[in-house]
Amino acid sequence: MKDFWRSYAQNRGAVVGLGLMVVLVILAVTADVAAPFSPIEQYRDAFLAPPVWMEGGSFRYLLGTDDVGRDILSRLIFGTRLSLMIGFMVVTLALTVGTSLGLIAAFAGGIVDIVIMRLMDVILVFPSLLLAIVIVAILGPGLFNAMLAVAVVILPSKTRLVRASALSELAKDYVTATRSAGAGTLRLMFLSVLPNCLAPLIVQASLGFSTAILDAAALGFLGLGAQPPTPEWGTMLAGALQYYQRAWWVLAFPGLSILITVLAFNLLGDGLRDALDPKLKR
Amino acid sequence: MLRFLLSRVTLIVPTFMAVTLASFLLIHAVPGDPIEVRVGEHGIAPERLAMLRHQFGLDQPLWKQFLDYEVQLAHGDLGLSVVTHASVWDEFLTLFPATIELAACALIFAILVGLPLGVIAAVRRGTAFDYGLMGVSVTGASMPIFWWGLMVILVFSVALGWTPVSGRIGDMFYIEPWSGFMLIDSWYSDDKGAFKSVVQHLILPTIVLGTVPLATIARMTRSSMLEVLGEDFIRTARAKGLSPVRVVVVHALRNALIPVVTVIGLQMGGLMGGAILTETIFAWPGIGHWLVEAIQRRDYPVLQGGTLLIAVLVMAVNLGVDVTYGFLNPRIRR
């Protein structure tokens, strides 16, 4: 663990990413306390109030309010909770299904392997955002369907990764030894092989978080993800489209939140890769 | 080489079949059948519905319908738009040049800027320039481009007034479409102001769509260059007394380019996804804008046909990259 931290801390960007992540998680957990107002409460006395440092801004609404008088800062803080939840759900779903499919493909081989991997190839042929859009268009707009669509879109990379590392593990002596000791296939799959494939999976999970948050926000922006008044960042941007030329703050802050969160997970993923995979070390 | 080419092409056939199956099932996964979708909320007499269903072959078993669909596709028939009643294929062809023009400009921009930046960062490894560039490029790769596009509009179009907000050309110009590429058509038109207007309209969308590829290319070039610069033949070239520029550009860059070319090829899918967002923001009359409108109007034939065509396009580009890669690196031809 100490070694891990030392090689992780060498990458300064990764430390920044971790720091950002800690802040985001704290905000998400304590949103009820940290946010000054409710995310959906409308204050009729303050439509499109500018942020505190601008003329006409007040300390009451630090980052200003939107067109119906909701406090932007509070919406952003609750949005953090939502975005981390989206990332978590999507990655968990994609990892569970992807790991199972990858292990099955590697262990079964033959026709099962071919069918699973061709299916993944088909998913990969569609540009990921387009496929997510099409899936949501069929299932109907909404946060849950958007998460499902994004999970499908990031599934192939997980499946391919697990299959490839499981195949290289299967060729090793310890697998033969375990097998001749009488271990069943399931035990071999999950207790012997899978733990040895974990390092690249952890990296992929972190990068998957950033893709999930970015794509879910893009769907929200196109009106296909979370529906108003949910304080989802992409949905907030979509709502700001009509008047953003008059009130830039309604647009700027949700997007900045997406950028910072995605950046944090990408930095984290890069750092984990450097620390966990000695082959890629500079 | 021919065998390599053939093996790649045969590999693509089952994938293509599966993609058509996916796009076929797509329209069947939509609640309500295509006829009900087409007549909309007005409702229709049951006898008339049955007649129409028979006419469109919807009373046939699913596998038969799929075969019919394949035959229809083989004839280049992608169906009609529910909203405009125009052929999906014709609409695609009209709008496609706009998307290609934008995507090509974005890719060229990304390569022209990203490649040199990556090379410089690798050569000056560990300097402030290197750290700065890597910081900027990881930020660029994390960029939500739908927000980025709106921000550049706010700064360059609204606040500074340098560039137009949307569209491909100013309203006062009319260009007879010939190639469909505004840059070419306006260049050959008599009105020289038209070309300037086209360029002004292109700048912001190009930057926005090119941001993520630019960041990816810069990062890839840097790491690939770092690897090559550590090789023995570079030391030999240096020891021979070649100028540093020659060593970097001729010896190192040529060898570092192979993974970079692959990454550039892989940008195609991302560019198409990005085009959906970029075109929506800039009201750019291309494929992405068309598909988003199709969703809002529940125009499923357009969504189905457009998605299929883009998937085929991505497959073709991937095949092209594969083959180019085989040319560049004879070891993988087997």
Decide which of B187 and A116 is more confident. Answer: A116
What band does B38 get if pLDDT is binned at 50, 70 and 90? low
| Residue contacts between A and B (CB atoms, under 8 Å) | 117
Q: Is B141 on the interface with A (CB under 8 A)?
A: yes
Lowest-confidence pick of A156-160, A248-252, B96-100, B242-246: B242-246
Chain A residues with beta carbon closer than 8 angstroms to that of B154: 244-245, 248, 251
What is the model's pLDDT at position B39? 65
Full DSSP string of A241-277: TTTTTT-HHHHHHHHHHHHHHHHHHHHHHHHHHHHH-
Q: What is the mean pLDDT of residues A258-270?
A: 92
What is the model's pLDDT at position B112? 95
Interchain pair A258, B272: CB under 8 A: no
Average predicted confidence (pLDDT) for chain A: 86
The answer, yes or no, to whether residue B31 has pLDDT greater than 70, is no
Interchain pair B144, A266: CB under 8 A: no
What is the model's pLDDT at position A281? 46
> H helices of B124-159, where?
128-141, 145-152
Interchain pair B154, A245: CB under 8 A: yes
Chain B residues with beta carbon closer than 8 angstroms to that of A121: 15, 18
What is the model's pLDDT at position B212? 93
**Chain A interface with B: residues with Cβ < 8 Å:** 13, 118-119, 121-122, 124-131, 133-134, 137-138, 210, 214, 217-218, 221-224, 234, 237, 241, 244-245, 248, 251-252, 254-256, 258-259, 262-263, 266-267, 270, 282
Condensed to tens digits (0 to 9), the pLDDT of residues B81-92 reads: 877 888 889 999
- In 3D space, the residue among A160, A155, A233, A156 whose CA is nearest the CA of residue A197 turns out to be A160
* CB A117 within 8 Å of CB A103: no
| B7, two tokens | 């093996």
Q: What is the CA radius of gyration of chain A?
A: 22
What is the model's pLDDT at position B278? 93
- Alpha-carbon gap: B15 to the closest alpha carbon of chain A (Å): 6
Chain B residues with beta carbon closer than 8 angstroms to that of A270: 138
C-alpha span between B2 and B7 (Å, rounded): 9
Sign (positive/negative) of CA torsion B25, B28, B34, B37?
negative
What is the model's pLDDT at position B205? 94
What is the model's pLDDT at position A282? 41
Q: What percent of chain B has pLDDT over 70?
A: 93
Condensed to tens digits (0 to 9), the pLDDT of residues B112-136 reads: 999 999 999 998 888 889 999 988 9
What is the model's pLDDT at position A23? 92
C-alpha span between B259 and B284 (Å, rounded): 32
The answer, yes or no, to whether residue B77 has pLDDT greater than 90, is no
Question: What ipTM does this complex have?
Answer: 0.87
* CB A64 within 8 Å of CB A99: no
User: What is the reported pTM?
Assistant: 0.87
CA distances from A275 to A7, A10, A210, B78 (A): 5, 9, 19, 50
Condensed to tens digits (0 to 9), the pLDDT of residues A125-134 reads: 888 899 999 8
- Given B19, B134, B295, which is nearest A125 (Cβ)? B19
The answer, yes or no, to whether residue A18 has pLDDT greater than 60, is yes
What is the model's pLDDT at position A30? 86
Chain A residues with beta carbon closer than 8 angstroms to that of B269: 124, 126-128
Chain B residues with beta carbon closer than 8 angstroms to that of A262: 142, 144
Condensed to tens digits (0 to 9), the pLDDT of residues B192-249 reads: 777 888 888 899 999 999 999 999 999 999 988 988 888 888 888 888 888 888 888 8
Decide which of B279 and B78 is more confident. Answer: B279
Q: What is the mean pLDDT of residues A65-85?
A: 87
What is the model's pLDDT at position B117? 94
| Cβ neighbours of residue A104 closer than 8 Å, sequence gap 6 or more | A112, A116
